Amino acid sequence: MTDSPKDELEKLQKLRAELENKLAAIDADKKKAEESITVLREKAAVQDLERKVREKQDALAALVFEKNELEEKLKHEPKESWMPEDVPKAKEEIESKEDVLETEKEEKQEPVSEETPEEEESKKKLRFF
């Protein structure tokens, strides 16, 4: 038996109300999921920034440690004083060393021959025999 139009209308209205409720529940679930995604994205961004901060802090700590080590090393090493008044002394030392080198160089050079070019030529010829 078929339902009367009034019964059929009631069934359709009831079905419509159920579907509208389902749609509203789906929309609410969608909104919650979007909000959760937004929160999770923000958490991921914060974690990434925290990781970068830790890396930068570690690099900075390593540099500070190296700086402190070098400063400590320099504190314990004897300081060599090199003042502007030392410049003339250094120049004198360099010039005296250059003079010694020039003198040694001159001593090693062959003495200038007092023979004429013709006499040297005849000596060269005699060397071949």
pLDDT digits (tens, 9 = 90+) for 56-103: 999 999 999 999 999 999 988 766 665 666 667 777 777 777 776 776
Tell me what pLDDT residue 85 has. Answer: 65
Global model pTM greater than 0.85: no
Tell me what pLDDT residue 124 has. Answer: 64
| pLDDT at residue 8 tops 80 | yes
Q: At 16, phi and psi to the nearest 5?
A: -60, -45
| CA 23/CA 15 separation, integer angstroms | 12
Question: Residues near 3 by Cβ (< 8 Å), separated by ≥ 6?
Answer: 11
Cβ atoms within 10 Å, residue 66: 10
Q: Name the residue with higher pLDDT: 119 or 12.
A: 12
| CA 70/CA 52 separation, integer angstroms | 27
Q: In this predicted model, what pLDDT tens digit does every residue of 14-47 receive, in sequence order? A: 999 999 999 999 999 999 999 999 999 999 999 9
| pLDDT at residue 53 tops 90 | yes
| pLDDT at residue 113 tops 60 | no
Q: Dihedral through CA 34, CA 36, CA 38, CA 43, nearest 10?
A: -170
Question: Is residue 110 a contact partner of residue 117, using CB atoms and an 8 Å limit?
Answer: no
| pLDDT at residue 125 tops 70 | no
Q: At 60, phi and psi to the nearest 5?
A: -65, -45
Question: Residues near 11 by Cβ (< 8 Å), separated by ≥ 6?
Answer: 3
Q: Name the residue with higher pLDDT: 92 or 51.
A: 51
